[in-house]
Structure 1
Amino acid sequence: MKFKKSLLICSALIAIPHAAQAQDSASEVDALRAEVAALKEQLAAVAAKVDEAAKAKEKKSSAPEVKWKGAPELEGEGGWSFKPRGRLLYDVANVSAPSAINDRGLGFSNELRRARLGVQGTIPGGFGYKFEADIATGDAEITDAYLDYNHKGLTVTVGQHNNFQSLEELSSSNDTSFLERAAFTDAFGFERRVGVSVQYGTGAFLAEGGVFTDNISDLGSDENNSIGVDGRLVFMPKLGKTQLHFGGSVHLRELNDAATSVRYRQRPLVHSTDTRFIDTGSVTATSETSYGLETAIIAGRFHAAAEGHWVNVARPGVNVQDANFFGGSLEGGVFLTNDTRGYKAGMFRGVKVKNPVGQGGFGALQFNVRYDYLDLNDGPIVGGKQDSYQASLIWTPIDYLRFMINYAKMDYSDAAIAAGTDRDYSVDVVGARAQVTF
């Protein structure tokens, strides 16, 4: 800026002699000199304003930028960012079973289903971090705790995180269509584990894989004895505005050298009861091998998804039969308002409300149905079978806030809990949730 100012002044001064030669009158030369002096003053004023603006811009750029995503997100220079995050989910439920069953988990129940607090952000160089803990039970239970690196579709993650089990499991609990995920996800022990993973996405393809040990809460204990390999492939093309999803996953988990015990069981749709009508009890095992298939579609207001998951449990001993279990679900939903279900990077996401309450709208209203199947019977192991027919209504008045009500008709055969002498019967479940996330 100083160079330009000097150049202009010099150009004006150089012009003076030429102008003087072209003029015969001394008064005209004096007039030109006066004009040059005035020009110098104007240039000095402009230069001062430019310098002031540059300093203001520099000061502004050094201050962090604040965005709002349910909570403030701070973005600084060079790739730094910081955002607090959390969720609060409160559930009420009622489980109605045959009168012959005397179980404390029946009837009315309620709980603080999730109460998570944490932080996430980015670090210069393509690095990022996330830490979150759930305090719903009164004790802090770490959910996510990892560092990652992102570069041109490649993500490397180290720490406690999800290990690519299924579409239903990987989609956030903030965005599920029902109070709880499909029965096979909990029954087969899907959970976050400590490990190292690599993800690579390009266009409509996504590949994920990693090596994992146990959940962070088991580290340092006698239960910290497994190591597993997980992989998932996803093809997610778009046909116009229609989003398609096709995926498959493989999971190999070795337990300890000596036989240990595993257990497969599940609650009836709601988490606020500890009653399990389907339960294998303890099963000795040396390893687990499982396979999953998943597919989904989002077309405007409509969505549908289907999944199946098979688990083979290798058991120790001569002439001891391995156990094989299966679980699957089929769901469909439609928005009664002009909204659509979110999707990104191989996972369902939350709805972005088009006409929120407070801005002249009603919010987003969605109706869903699901068939949920779980079979825990194989050979000498009789854990029971579950056929579940479910419906849900979800109202999202604004982004980050939603209310849900569920109903389920649960049909059991070979149930783990007998109704007198009968192990084949039905259970009715009603549940509701209020939820805020940020």
Structure 2
Amino acid sequence: MKLTRCTLAAALLAAIAAPAAHAEIAIDVIGGSEVSFEGLVQADFYKFDTDHIDYGADSAGGNSACSTSTDCDGKDYLQELRRAELVLKGKGPGNIEWVLGYDAKDDKFLDVNVKYKIGGNGNHFIQVGQFKQPGATLEELSSTKNNDFVSKSSITNTLGTPRRVGVQYNYGDVNWGLTASYFGRELTRNREHGSGYALRGYWAPVNEAGNIFHIGASYLDKDTDADALRLRARPMADMVPTRYVDANLNRTDRASFVGVEALWVHGPVKLQGEYMKTDVKRYGGADDFSGDGYYVSGLWNLTGETWGYKAGVPVTNLPDNPDKGLWQLGLRYDTIDLTDGAVVGGKMDSITAGVNWYWRSNFKFMLNYVAVKQKRASGFKLANVTIPEDNPNVIEARAQFYW
């Protein structure tokens, strides 16, 4: 299914017809299940201060040096619909909950699963279907509509495992949890595959209104399936086809990922950081590979709101004053290193400064400035040109509507 004008128009009309509220649209009670409808529409704009590479090219043909290739379109910007997510949810009968989500922009299924809450406890359940894996980052497990920055961190986008079909068991309480899952391929055809398992544990020894301290750890191990694994990072701009940092591995067997995370909220301030490391087992005389990365970020709610906490992730609250909205300032340092021995995937460091405005209950506007530094010891070959480093600066904007 491709995104059409009719599809998007239907989503927007349904949302506009809904009351101005943060919650989903209640549809009906069917078979004892309270059915509701949610949606998320995002449009992004990027403007590049190009160094050597034409990141504004509309296709992967931009993977050529602009001075020697006709593939570059001469533009230093990109603008496109980023997401068009349509989600049906159901509560009941009994302790059963279900969700059916689809991204009409990316033509893929989102969460498609059924959950059974044991004893009615929302943090003690069994889940079957497609869902975000517990081996993903804290940032990935948080709600997409409340991303702190336009682009998620490099470890989330490069080392994190996306949604997969599987079975999951979670046991915990309001301030701690343990999760284990076994998974296979992604539900959408020709997407991610390779079976594996994931574990995550977290604990919030301090968990009260406006005062939260959270720590957690995760482990994921998976088969690389086709005996090949490609780890690569965009320059902190999600829709860019070019990846300067790129480790293309063959003769791979299994890959494991270890992550640690920490979160601190005090009133209108939130500090968050994560580290992730991957180890890839290879055969046929090829050396094993290791790569890692981390980020540290800080958010300040200028209008005084704080954050909530649910199921081991932070929750962004509604504006205290809907007309004024919720204003945030954010700063993040991010790094990833995909060079190990003979595999020269490169290294990327970036600093992102941003401002977010949540207006009323259904709108969000974001503006980021990103300074990126990328290096590869062996150089990055584009056409007949070798580029030892590339350091673009990016201005990113996002308009978001959700219900």
1:227 corresponds in structure 2 to 195
1:18-73 residue CA offsets vs partner (Å, 9 max, x unmatched): xxxxxxxxxxxxxxxxxxxxxxxxxxxxxxxxxxxxxxxxxxxxxxxx99644422
Alignment of 1:419-430 (within 5 A): 420-430=385-395
1:395 to 354, 357, 360: 357
Unaligned runs of 5+ in 2: 1-18, 54-64
| 1:422, distance to aligned residue in structure 2 (A) | 3.8
Identity fraction in percent? 27
| 1:423, distance to aligned residue in structure 2 (A) | 1.2
Name the amino acid aligned to 2:176: F
| 1:238, distance to aligned residue in structure 2 (A) | 2.2
Decide which moves more: 344-353 or 97-106: 97-106
1:432 corresponds in structure 2 to 397
Confirm whether residue 171 of structure 1 aligns to residue 139 of structure 2: no
| 1:307, distance to aligned residue in structure 2 (A) | 0.3
Relative to structure 1, the CA distance from residue 393 to residue 417 in structure 2 (aligned partners, 3 Å threshold; closer, same or farther) is farther
CA distance in 2, matches of 1:412, 1:69: 39
1:108 to 77, 80, 102: 77
Alignment of 1:284-433 (within 5 A): 284-318=251-285, 320-357=286-323, 362-414=324-376, 416=380, 420-433=385-398
Name the amino acid aligned to 1:367: L
1:344-371 residue CA offsets vs partner (Å, 9 max, x unmatched): 11112233110011xxxx1110000000
Q: Is contact 2:354-2:368 (8 Å) kept?
A: yes
Alignment of 1:51-90 (within 5 A): 69-73=22-26, 76=29, 80-90=33-43
Report SS of the residue matched to 1:395: strand
TM superposition score normalised by structure 2: 0.84
CA distance in 2, matches of 1:341, 1:224: 33
Report SS of the residue matched to 1:331: strand
Q: Is contact 1:383-1:416 (8 Å) kept?
A: no
2:175 corresponds in structure 1 to 204
Q: Is contact 2:183-2:195 (8 Å) kept?
A: yes
| 1:197, distance to aligned residue in structure 2 (A) | 0.2
| 1:185, distance to aligned residue in structure 2 (A) | 1.4
Report SS of the residue matched to 1:169: helix
CA distance in 1, matches of 2:21, 2:371: 41
2:245 to 263, 275, 278: 278
- Number of aligned positions between the proteins: 361
Alignment of 1:126-275 (within 5 A): 126-137=95-106, 140-151=107-118, 152=121, 153-164=123-134, 165-218=136-189, 226-238=194-206, 241-256=210-225, 260-275=227-242
CA distance in 2, matches of 1:210, 1:393: 36
| 1:173, distance to aligned residue in structure 2 (A) | 1.4
Q: Is contact 2:20-2:361 (8 Å) kept?
A: no
| 1:277, distance to aligned residue in structure 2 (A) | 1.7
Structure with bigger helix share is 1
CA distance in 2, matches of 1:172, 1:332: 17
CA distance in 1, matches of 2:168, 2:52: 49
Relative to structure 1, the CA distance from residue 265 to residue 99 in structure 2 (aligned partners, 3 Å threshold; closer, same or farther) is closer
| 1:186, distance to aligned residue in structure 2 (A) | 1.6
Q: Is contact 1:188-1:264 (8 Å) kept?
A: yes
Q: Is contact 1:169-1:190 (8 Å) kept?
A: no
Relative to structure 1, the CA distance from residue 315 to residue 234 in structure 2 (aligned partners, 3 Å threshold; closer, same or farther) is same
Q: Is contact 2:174-2:311 (8 Å) kept?
A: no
Name the amino acid aligned to 1:233: G
2:10 corresponds in structure 1 to none
Name the amino acid aligned to 1:401: F
Q: Is contact 2:39-2:86 (8 Å) kept?
A: yes
TM superposition score normalised by structure 1: 0.77
Q: CA RMSD in A?
A: 2.4
Name the amino acid aligned to 2:392: V
Relative to structure 1, the CA distance from residue 348 to residue 204 in structure 2 (aligned partners, 3 Å threshold; closer, same or farther) is closer
Report SS of the residue matched to 1:191: coil
Q: Is contact 1:376-1:384 (8 Å) kept?
A: yes
1:193-225 residue CA offsets vs partner (Å, 9 max, x unmatched): 00000111224211111000011124xx6x886
Q: Is contact 1:403-1:432 (8 Å) kept?
A: yes
Q: Is contact 1:70-1:400 (8 Å) kept?
A: no
Q: Is contact 1:67-1:73 (8 Å) kept?
A: no
Relative to structure 1, the CA distance from residue 282 to residue 346 in structure 2 (aligned partners, 3 Å threshold; closer, same or farther) is same
Q: Report the structure number with the largest CA radius of gyration.
A: 1
CA distance in 2, matches of 1:417, 1:354: 52
Report SS of the residue matched to 1:423: strand
1:374-397 residue CA offsets vs partner (Å, 9 max, x unmatched): 000001111110010111100111
Flag the structure with more relative contact order, 1 or 2, with Cα contacts below 8 A and sequence separation at least 6: 2
| 1:406, distance to aligned residue in structure 2 (A) | 0.7
Decide which moves more: 391-400 or 71-80: 71-80
| 1:88, distance to aligned residue in structure 2 (A) | 0.1
CA distance in 2, matches of 1:225, 1:174: 26
| 1:190, distance to aligned residue in structure 2 (A) | 2.2
